[in-house]
Amino acid sequence: MPALNEADVIGNVIDQIPRDFQYAAKVTILVIDDGSTDATRKIALEHNAVVYSHPVNRGLGTAFSSATEQALNMGADILVSIDADGQFNPMEIPQLVEPIAQKRCDFTLGNRFANCKRPTGMPVPRFLGNQIMNTVLSLLVRRQISDASCGFRAYSRNTLLRLNPVERFTYTHETLLELHAKGLLCEQIPISVRYFPGRKSILTRSLFMYGTRALLIIVRFLRDYRPTLFFGGVGVLCAIVSVGLAIVPITNFLLYDSFTPYKTLGVMSLFFASLGIASVFVGFLADSNARQRMLLENLLYLQRAQIFNTHAANNSQSRSNT
């Protein structure tokens, strides 16, 4: 549960989390206090949560990375992420856990749009932005994603070990793209959601900035995991521009046996043609690097599994001794 200045509600959210349900032998509440300046940490501790604090605000993406590391160290089999503001219903956690516990998938996504309608209280611009993002990510992962931005999710231990998030701003889009690129399976679970009048999301205070950052995440994903598509697309775009610029000077040459006065367009056409060829060439090199990246990430997965499993065993032994 990432939390930033949620002292007013976090205690109530923690108390609503079910501790005893099927597939859960033990439930630990882990709060990532992301530099709160109010009593968030104090109240979370009073409600029997384990709290890991950042000295300053580092962003939702970094909070998720901290949660992943702490959960793996604890030996958790499943990690559920849920907001601390009471927007989601903690009683629906078992629904997210069940498909993973039954080995039907590797992670689950909460779906606020299961009925294809705008949830009550969700601002129209935010709803439209979500639908655009869902469409874009669905095309990228080649399957229908109904709610790519929802933070109410569950991950198996194996899934956490394969994750290598680097974004500080948010983790929802990055992790979704990365896990699908690595072939992990997901199920989308219908969930309920509440929107509180007057409350503004920290992430979406500026839809323009949110959209810009989300676009950068997508561009980096294409660069790292789909380099042929990324650089090939740049090459094709440059080729189209090059042909468009060349039409006028070539037509003038055929009619008047001279490129004048359109030599500049001709030079620009050659520039974009060269840029397109270079982009395609870089794409082939990047594709080779992407293959090396996947091999290195597989080695990192094995190393992380060994390290965190040892940490979890040591922590378990220490708790049993005390």
pLDDT tens-place string over residues 39-80: 999 999 999 999 999 999 998 999 999 999 999 999 999 999
Mean pLDDT of the chain: 90
Residue 248, C-beta contacts closer than 8 angstroms, at least 6 positions apart: 262, 265
Instruction: Give the span between the Cα atoms of 137 and 214, in whole angstroms.
Output: 11
pLDDT category of residue 30 using cuts at 50, 70 and 90: very high
Residue with tokens 């219908």: 190
Cα–Cα distances (Å) from 72 to 28, 158, 171, in that order, read 12, 10, 17
Do 33 and 41 form a contact (C-beta atoms < 8 A)? yes
Instruction: Give the span between the Cα atoms of 243 and 245, in whole angstroms.
Output: 5
Instruction: Give the span between the Cα atoms of 95 and 260, in whole angstroms.
Output: 71
* pLDDT score, position 310: 82
Q: Residue 188 forms beta bridges with which residues?
A: 109
Residue with tokens 């993002």: 133
> For residue 64, which of 150, 165, 203 has the smallest C-alpha distance?
165
β-pairing, 50-54 with 30-34? parallel
Sequence ranges of the domains in the chain: 2-223, 227-321
**Fold designation for 2-223:** Spore Coat Polysaccharide Biosynthesis Protein SpsA; Chain A (3.90.550)
* pLDDT score, position 90: 95
β-pairing, 78-81 with 2-3? unpaired
Kindly report the pTM of this predicted structure: 0.85
Reported for 287-295, long-range contacts at CB under 8 A and 24+ positions apart, including other chains, are 287/227, 287/228, 289/227, 290/224, 290/225, 290/227, 293/224, 294/182
Report the greatest alpha carbon distance in the chain: 93
**What is the torsion angle, in degrees rounded to the nearest 10, for the CA atoms of residue 81, residue 86, residue 87 and residue 89?**
70
Query: Which pair of tokens denotes residue 105?
Result: 């998938």
> For residue 249, which of 274, 268, 236 has the smallest C-alpha distance?
268
Mean pLDDT calculated for residue range 191-202: 78
Do 73 and 312 form a contact (C-beta atoms < 8 A)? yes
Instruction: Give the span between the Cα atoms of 1 and 79, in whole angstroms.
Output: 10
Q: At what angle do helices 207-225 and 172-181 cross, to 10 degrees?
A: 20
- More reliable by pLDDT, 316 or 49: 49
Q: Is 53 helix (H, G, I), strand (E, B) or coil?
A: strand
Q: Residue 31 forms beta bridges with which residues?
A: 51
Instruction: Give the span between the Cα atoms of 232 and 284, in whole angstroms.
Output: 9
* Tens-place pLDDT, residues 247-292: 999 999 899 888 888 899 999 999 999 999 999 999 988 888 888 8
Mean pLDDT calculated for residue range 218-247: 92
Query: Which pair of tokens denotes residue 253?
Result: 């040459």
Residue 300, C-beta contacts closer than 8 angstroms, at least 6 positions apart: 164
For the ranges 2-16, 87-101, 128-142, 210-224, the lowest mean pLDDT is seen at 210-224
Percent over 70 (pLDDT), the chain = 95
Instruction: Give the span between the Cα atoms of 164 and 139, in whole angstroms.
Output: 22
Instruction: Give the span between the Cα atoms of 279 and 233, in whole angstroms.
Output: 9
